Amino acid sequence: METDNIKEIRIDNSGRLCIFPENQKFTMIFTLAKEVHWDNDQYFLYSPKLKEWSYFEWYKHIIGVVKECNVTLVMTKETIWTNIPQSLKKDILET
């Protein structure tokens, strides 16, 4: 299994949770049919807008789907947190 750093975690203006890997590209992740998407212009994974799941549930889901692609995404002290509530950041860091 490969490991890649999470460069940034962001909640964008559309209300999607976005995770920016440092190096990996997941252009075919949609083929897993798990509602995790890849932005091929800015290179990030993202959730749909929230409906039933929380941001934390989507974070765990995205990380799990990426593991199905044989990649483990990890936080670093350089990970950027953009528009992430402190409570969500705390939950993510404790996983």
SS (H, E, C) the chain: CEEEEEEEEEECCCCCEEEEECCCCCCCHHHHCCCCEEECCCCEEECCCCCCCCHHHHHHHHHHHHHHCCEEEECCCCCEEECCCHHHHHHHHCC
What pLDDT does 21 receive? Answer: 98
What average pLDDT score do residues 78-87 get? 98
Average pLDDT of span 7-14 = 97
Q: Which CATH number does the domain 2-93 belong to among 2.20.20.40, 1.20.120.1760, 3.40.50.450, 1.10.150.120?
A: 2.20.20.40
User: Which pLDDT score is estimated for 76?
Assistant: 96
Q: Is the pLDDT of residue 80 over 90?
A: yes
Q: Is the pLDDT of residue 47 over 90?
A: yes
Looking at every residue in the chain, the average pLDDT score rounds to 95
